[in-house]
Amino acid sequence: MTQVTAITTTWVRELQDALGPDSVLTDPDVTAAYARDQAMLVEAGLPAAVALPRSTEEVSAVLRLASRHGVPVVPRGAGSGLVGAANAVDGGITLVLTRMDAVLEVSAADRLAVVQPGVVNKTLRDAARGHGLFYPPDPASYDWCTLGGNLAMNSGGLCCVKYGVTADYVLGLEVVLADGRVLRTGRRTVKGVAGYDLTRLFVGSEGTLGVITEATLALRPAPQPPVTLVASFGTSAQTGQVVEQVVTSGLVPSMLEVMDRTCIRAVDDLMKADLDRDAAALLLAQSDSGGAVAAAEIAALTQLCEAAGADFVHSTDDPAEGDLLMTARRMALPALERLGSSLLLDDVAVPRSQVATFIDGCEGIAATAGLVIGVVGHAGDGNMHPTVVFDGGDPDQTTWAYAAFDAILELGLSLGGTITGEHGVGALKADWLEREIGPVSLSVHRAVKHALDPAGILNPGKVFRPVPGAGVAG
Amino acid sequence: MTQVTAITTTWVRELQDALGPDSVLTDPDVTAAYARDQAMLVEAGLPAAVALPRSTEEVSAVLRLASRHGVPVVPRGAGSGLVGAANAVDGGITLVLTRMDAVLEVSAADRLAVVQPGVVNKTLRDAARGHGLFYPPDPASYDWCTLGGNLAMNSGGLCCVKYGVTADYVLGLEVVLADGRVLRTGRRTVKGVAGYDLTRLFVGSEGTLGVITEATLALRPAPQPPVTLVASFGTSAQTGQVVEQVVTSGLVPSMLEVMDRTCIRAVDDLMKADLDRDAAALLLAQSDSGGAVAAAEIAALTQLCEAAGADFVHSTDDPAEGDLLMTARRMALPALERLGSSLLLDDVAVPRSQVATFIDGCEGIAATAGLVIGVVGHAGDGNMHPTVVFDGGDPDQTTWAYAAFDAILELGLSLGGTITGEHGVGALKADWLEREIGPVSLSVHRAVKHALDPAGILNPGKVFRPVPGAGVAG
């Protein structure tokens, strides 16, 4: 114990020398604030030091030092993650990128931006808007999450049905490798096939392969103000029919969200919004195509909803009224939070043809567990967020809640889906990863990890478990 | 020599046992037909055996056997490639995937297709069209190239300005690894972030990391018949201005192609098409948005061309007339071919703001080399194809031609571009790769390659040179 402390003292002093004392935090009362993300039920360690570098060179210095001393490093941004991917490792370094927060360039002529990882998603959105451009990825935490975190997790959001996910906007990266070397991937051009797609390898790798210190991101033309549609249905099968018809008819709304009965009632209880409490599901859709095209898209959606037997369909091109309609969707999680002391927020993506089957399956799981499970989801891309509500102080309810959480993942896989559509694996689902990808893929993951981080110092234990005995986390 | 032959005889016999004698070709007169792709000036070896497997299991058997005997394996499809990526290795196995040519599924409800690698691009396009759907990637060889080759090379085409490249359509893969194990990557869902993006790692890896035996590909709603615009300009700067204005104004045409004066005149000589021989550049654009939207897009493009000082602008919504206008673009390479016995077709992508500078630079390089260099290109995404025309029988011209080819790559890099926008690296540009990506990235490429193919049997010498002494190709 004394020896460990002595070793720690040595590298912490080196860290302070490298970054300056105001960039290294060691007081446990202070470092505790950096110990975990928003996955409150996932275990987290306590970092021996929190490093707040201001430059790529400082990140490189931290990783050289960590490599030399075999200290685990957990990179993180604002900590808005939902799977514990940024949770600290006991005695390790938590590397906080929030001070590297410059938008280095916005180029209208090449329709791209160059950013540091600590830039808040909304800051880039605003900077792009200033040039008549648009950065689509919009995780729910867009006004406080950082782009570095978005990149590490390959974040999605409401925009994905039309605009895809974070990875679809990454042209190139600067990455500091485990040994401190600085790698540049990708390019500034739209197209390019020179070498392996290392950019995509790092995006979504949850900080286990390198630390992203700069990103070149593609931007899009600014969309038009949205036209919004809301429709309610007596059965979830009817909403499933609409989703399937949207896909087969080739409609591409800019948003297509679903809420189940549990969420509708929870929101209505909270907001007194006069929602249809008997509805089985509510669909919310938007078109941002503008003018006649948006009108035609919303008309086509209205027709699909009516043909599926909607009890109620309403649309508006008034952005303020549209925003008000969207409030019901935005308040779904806060409304569920009021129903129990704890939430387990799941994140399963299923093929779009399976959305209704999945919602019905969650209702069955809720009945079996004797718990409330509310389902909201990005119906347009099949990414569903069933949320298990329970009393975390009740051991029996807690056991049932975790069983329900697992049953939801099992259901998703059985429908040809994935255990995570956009939140990531982190620590929360590391044991589930192999269930989805199988032993061959797991061994390839480990081989790639070992090629880039042979000592296993980068975010150990996240995404998948290390092989026992391999690297610092073994 | 005798010993090598004896060893070869052994594994060839094993190969014949595994696949059946009609699936293994060894007659040098026959195997020569499989020795190279369309990069006629790139060296190629002669395979000891050509294997034509009919199933994933047979591919797996070939790779297990090749691993055991340390025999290099070059996977290939139809051989339409332009960089020698499919060129044979002396004494190795050339693995031809064309017999695995089934479209296994087209799902309108999930808007995807599942295909084997030997399916011809056009076959999938036709199958998708039968469901009112669209598979966008359209390399020039779409009517004979295979999807396996498209995936291995991450092929582009004319569609990219609006629809992206092959990689943008790949949801998941089945890949046989160097040791014969079968890996599945990705998923059937639109979104998914479970684990590393191995799908993208294999796409564009040019057969150096594994052999793709199945792919799940996203499809899109079918586009509308195109409206076509043609415009001619007195200076390439004017076309550059149009491209930049298209980007900044947020217009997204479904095609935006450019031809320089050399190509205009060559095509006019060949076709007697009454083209404007004094024009410095011709722009060809299409909108496939249909109806009023297409009309508005083409009107906006017309306005941009006129504002840039076009000598001539014409548009048509008659698909037959549009197709006729497109003939000029399609005939550019055949027309250049008539001007010399040999062509060096380059493939540089530059940031879209640099298109005009690049075209002017190529004119300068042509003047220096004393050779004809014609430039056609996908102006909308900055991917340019300067083509050096020369007499391959003249050693002096050949030296100048290669010098010009290199100068074009150098120019592309100096403008922030890449040495290959869509054709790939192959054998042709393997020595150029490090110039673009640098030593850190090259070492990461080698580490990833070593992790997946430790003996270096998969397509050795392509993309980058093996480390001397490492693997079979050392």
Q: What is the pLDDT of residues B153-169, one digit of tens each?
A: 999 999 999 999 999 99
* CATH classification (class only), A103-221: alpha beta
Question: Cβ contacts (< 8 Å) between A193 and chain B: which residues?
Answer: 153-154, 165, 204, 418, 420-425
B353-368 tens-digit pLDDT: 999 999 999 999 999 9
Question: Cβ contacts (< 8 Å) between A287 and chain B: which residues?
Answer: none
What is the reported pLDDT for A40? 83
Q: Residue B160: closest CA among chain A residues belongs to which residue?
A: A191
Query: Using alpha carbons only, what angle is made at residue A215 by residues A209 and A218, rounded to the nearest 5 degrees?
Result: 125
What is the reported pLDDT for A317? 96
Q: Residue A417: closest CA among chain B residues belongs to which residue?
A: B189
Least confident of A468-472, B202-206, B396-400, B453-457: A468-472
A vs B: CB pairs below 8 A: 266
From A206's Cα to the closest Cα of chain B, the distance in A is: 9
Q: Using CA atoms, how far apart are residues B17 and A447, in angstroms rounded to an integer?
A: 32
What is the reported pLDDT for A474? 30
Residue A467 pLDDT > 80, yes or no? no
Of A165, A191, A444, the CB nearest to B421: A191
What is the reported pLDDT for B469? 54
Question: What mean pLDDT do residues A183-187 have?
Answer: 97
Q: Residue A196: closest CA among chain B residues belongs to which residue?
A: B205
A10-69 tens-digit pLDDT: 999 999 999 999 999 999 999 999 999 999 889 999 999 999 999 999 999 999 999 999
* Residue B90 DSSP one-character state: T
Residue A256 pLDDT > 50, yes or no? yes
A319-346 tens-digit pLDDT: 999 999 999 999 999 999 999 999 999 9
Residue among B43, B31, B92, B6 at smallest CA distance from B471: B92
Give residues with Cβ within 8 angstroms of A253, minimum separation 6: A161, A162, A246, A285, A286, A287, A297, A301, A380
Q: Using CA atoms, how far apart are residues A132 and A126, in angstroms rounded to an integer?
A: 10
Q: Using CA atoms, how far apart are residues A316 and A324, in angstroms rounded to an integer?
A: 11
Residue A6 pLDDT > 80, yes or no? no
Of B197, B422, B463, the CB nearest to A201: B197
B250-262 tens-digit pLDDT: 899 999 999 999 9
Sheet holding B170-176, edge to edge: B103-107, B112-115, B211-218, B170-176, B182-186
How far, in Å, are A351, A455, B107 from residue B104 at the CA level?
Answer: 17, 43, 10
HSE, CB side, 13 Å, CA atoms: give it for residue A253: 32
Q: Using CA atoms, how far apart are residues B141 and B124, in angstroms rounded to an integer?
A: 14
Of A193, A201, A440, the CB nearest to B421: A193
Question: What mean pLDDT do residues B76-91 have?
Answer: 97
Contact A445 B196 (CB under 8 A): yes
* Conformational region of residue A231, where left means phi above 0, alpha means psi within -120 to 50, and beta covers everything else: beta
Q: Residue A176: closest CA among chain B residues belongs to which residue?
A: B440
Residue A471 pLDDT > 70, yes or no? no
From B180's Cα to the closest Cα of chain A, the distance in A is: 11
From B321's Cα to the closest Cα of chain A, the distance in A is: 27
User: What torsion do the CA atoms of A143, A190, B312, B308 make, to the nearest 10 degrees?
Assistant: 50
Residue A469 pLDDT > 80, yes or no? no
**Main-chain phi, psi angles of B298, to 5 degrees:** -70, -35
What is the reported pLDDT for A458? 98
Question: Cβ contacts (< 8 Å) between A416 and chain B: which residues?
Answer: 187-189
Contact A167 B197 (CB under 8 A): yes
What is the reported pLDDT for B473? 36
Question: What mean pLDDT do residues A113-120 have?
Answer: 98
At residue B8 the predicted structure's pLDDT band, cuts being 50, 70 and 90, is confident
Residue B471 pLDDT > 60, yes or no? no
How far, in Å, are A138, A212, A310, A322, A448 from residue A143 at the CA level?
Answer: 9, 20, 34, 20, 34
Contact A189 B425 (CB under 8 A): no
Question: What mean pLDDT do residues B119-129 have?
Answer: 98
Range list of H helices, A308-429: 319-330, 332-337, 355-369, 395-414
Question: Cβ contacts (< 8 Å) between B450 and chain A: which residues?
Answer: 451
How far, in Å, are A262, A328, A334, A362, A391 from residue A339 at the CA level?
Answer: 11, 16, 9, 17, 9
Query: Using alpha carbons only, what angle is made at residue A380 by residues A375 and A384, rounded to the nearest 5 degrees?
Result: 25
From B67's Cα to the closest Cα of chain A, the distance in A is: 17
HSE, CB side, 13 Å, CA atoms: give it for residue B297: 27
What is the reported pLDDT for A252? 92
Q: Residue A428: closest CA among chain B residues belongs to which residue?
A: B194
Question: Cβ contacts (< 8 Å) between B452 and chain A: which residues?
Answer: 444, 447-448
B280-328 tens-digit pLDDT: 999 999 999 999 999 999 999 999 999 999 999 999 999 999 999 999 9
B43-75 tens-digit pLDDT: 999 999 999 999 999 999 999 999 999 999 999
Residue B2 pLDDT > 60, yes or no? no
Tokens at residue B401, please?
Answer: 């031609």
Contact B425 A107 (CB under 8 A): no
HSE, CB side, 13 Å, CA atoms: give it for residue B106: 19
What is the reported pLDDT for A273? 85
Contact B203 A197 (CB under 8 A): yes
Contact A184 B438 (CB under 8 A): yes
Question: What mean pLDDT do residues A91-95 have?
Answer: 97
* Residue B197 DSSP one-character state: -
From B413's Cα to the closest Cα of chain A, the distance in A is: 10
Contact B189 A436 (CB under 8 A): no
Residue A435 pLDDT > 70, yes or no? yes
Domain coordinates of chain B in residue numbers?
2-96, 103-221, 227-414
HSE, CB side, 13 Å, CA atoms: give it for residue B48: 20
Give residues with Cβ within 8 angstroms of B193, minimum separation 6: A153, A154, A165, A204, A418, A420, A421, A422, A423, A424, A425
Which letter, b or e, does each residue of B87-101 get, where b requires 16 or more Cβ atoms within 10 Å of its Cβ?
bbbebbbbbbbbebb
Mutation target to probe the A interface, by most A beta carbons within 10 A, among B160, B177, B181, B193 is B193
What is the reported pLDDT for B468? 66
Residue among A443, A448, A474 at smallest CA distance from A460: A474
A437-456 tens-digit pLDDT: 999 999 999 999 999 999 99
Question: Cβ contacts (< 8 Å) between A191 and chain B: which residues?
Answer: 156, 160, 165, 349, 378, 381-383, 418, 421-422
A151-177 tens-digit pLDDT: 999 999 999 999 999 999 999 999 999
Architecture of domain B227-414: 3-Layer(aba) Sandwich (3.40)
Question: What mean pLDDT do residues A108-134 have?
Answer: 96
From B312's Cα to the closest Cα of chain A, the distance in A is: 25
Report the SS3 class of residue B231. Answer: strand
Q: Using CA atoms, how far apart are residues A400 and B140, in angstroms rounded to an integer?
A: 57
Question: Cβ contacts (< 8 Å) between A423 and chain B: which residues?
Answer: 193
Whether A72 and A457 have beta carbons less than 8 Å apart is answered as yes
Report the SS3 class of residue B378. Answer: strand
B377-406 tens-digit pLDDT: 999 999 999 999 999 999 999 999 999 999
Mutation target to probe the B interface, by most B beta carbons within 10 A, among A107, A187, A193 is A193
Contact A417 B187 (CB under 8 A): yes
Residue B194 pLDDT > 50, yes or no? yes
A234-255 tens-digit pLDDT: 999 999 999 999 998 889 999 9
Parallel, antiparallel or unpaired: strands A73-76 and B182-186: unpaired
What is the reported pLDDT for B5? 74
Of A156, A193, A444, the CB nearest to B422: A193
Whether B160 and B109 have beta carbons less than 8 Å apart is answered as no
Question: Cβ contacts (< 8 Å) between A201 and chain B: which residues?
Answer: 196-197, 200-201, 448
Which residue has 């000082």 as its token pair? Answer: B309
Mean of all residue pLDDT scores within chain A:
95
Tokens at residue B115, please?
Answer: 């295909």
What is the reported pLDDT for B6? 76
* CATH classification (class only), B2-96: alpha beta
